Structure 1
Amino acid sequence: MSGGGIARGRLAEERKSWRKNHPHGFVAKPDIAQDGSLDLMTWKCIIPGKPGGFLHMGWEWLCLDGPYRIPFHSFQGTKPPNLELRNAIHTDWEGGFFPLTLQFSEDYPSKPPKCKFPQGFFHPNVYPSGTVCLSILNEDHDLLDQPNPGDPAQTDGYHLFVQDPTEYRRRVRQQAKLYPPAL
């Protein structure tokens, strides 16, 4: 790591914090500079597509895997169904692990980083260059799953999202296959 400064100090602290605790499946790490040192000003990230869940039937609960548990008392005292996992609930982005580069300036944290997906990334809020406006990102990675039609950045993605949701979802699923988990 070369140089000091507020931005680099802050990023070093955030890196320590991230390494101790971060959301499952997400990756964020500083790039490696040509001299082999950490480049804290450029981070290579992976954003997992939001997973679906399964409708799970058991003794006394009907639940969607995830944060929701819905009591379903008609199963109490009865034999549980033969199959516990039924009716897979998928999201269009599920299965993809999407690369994102964060480029920080010396003005960080006063100014946000620039965020960039690969060039040609299909999404209404991502420019053809891959650049995305940071203001529409949030910690729950809803940018992928819930595009903002009020802030279009890409003509094809926007038109399909608004006018042909079926084709939009097909293209998203196709793109998710292009970004499998890294081994």
Structure 2
Amino acid sequence: MAGVARARLAEERKAWRKDKPFGFHARPEQNEDGSVNIMKWKCYIPGKANTDWDGGFYPLTMEFSEDYPAKPPKCKFPGGFFHPNIYPSGTVCLSILNEDEGWKPSITVKQILLGIQELLDTPNDKSPAQSDAYVCFTQRLNDYRKAVRKQSLQYPPPN
């Protein structure tokens, strides 16, 4: 199975290079010896234009198991990321990343990253992952929007 995951990720990487959405970054990390770790990707998701997330480039890691694509990757923002559907650890709570809900082996890295970008501005209030952001989003929307705009300043474009 390990060969299947690595071959699929090599294909994903090639497809990403040919057709990546504007402003997004995604590439496998490098090991200390300079070799490529195809199983762990460092990504940046731009905030959608004309939203409270606009201007931020949000760092995300994608960790793939040897069971990929049968199982989804683990996607994480930095710990403490403020969003109703992001756990305090930074783990993204999204149906397409849950093997018991919406995951399908045909879902691509590009689709995952676009789905996470969409989730940023349109939280799912039926699936809260952190109480502070959820309560703020559902009960004090203006405060929530201010907190999101403040957070966007913490994540300037990558070098």
State the TM bucket, normalised to the shorter chain: 0.7 to 0.9
User: Where does residue 19 of structure 2 map in the other structure?
Assistant: 21
Distance in 2 (alpha carbons) for counterparts of 1:120 and 1:94: 19
Partner of 1:135: 95
In the TM superposition, residue 182 of structure 1 has moved relative to its aligned partner by 1.7
> Whose radius of gyration is greater, 1 or 2?
1
The question of whether the paired residues in 1 share the 8 Å contact of 2:85 and 2:94 is answered with: no
Q: Distance in 2 between matches of 1:166 and 1:30?
A: 37
Match of residue 32, structure 1, among 6, 12, 30: 30
2:133 alignment counterpart: 157
Give the structure with the larger helix fraction: 2
Calculate the TM-score normalised by the size of structure 2: 0.86
| TM-superposed deviation, 1:133 | 2.4
The secondary structure found in structure 2 opposite 1:5 is helix
Structure 1's 26 and 178: CA in aligned 2 closer, same or farther, altered over 3 A? same
Q: Does the CA-based 8 Å contact 1:114-1:134 persist in structure 2? A: no
What is the aligned partner in structure 1 of residue 107 from structure 2?
A: none
Whether 1:124 and 2:100 are equivalent positions in the alignment is no
Unaligned runs of 5+ in 1: 53-90
Contact 1:47-1:98 at 8 Å conserved across structures: yes
In the TM superposition, what whole-angstrom CA distance separates every residue of 1:2-24 from its partner, at most 9, and x where no partner exists?
xx610001000110010011100
Over 3 Å counting, the alpha-carbon distance change for 1:134 and 1:111 in structure 2 is farther
Root-mean-square deviation (CA, aligned residues, Å) is 1.3
TM-score, length-scaled by structure 1 = 0.75
Aligned pair count reads 142
CA drift of 1:136 comes to 5.5
Distance between the aligned counterparts of 1:136 and 1:106, measured in 2?
18
The residue that corresponds to 1:11 in the other structure is 9
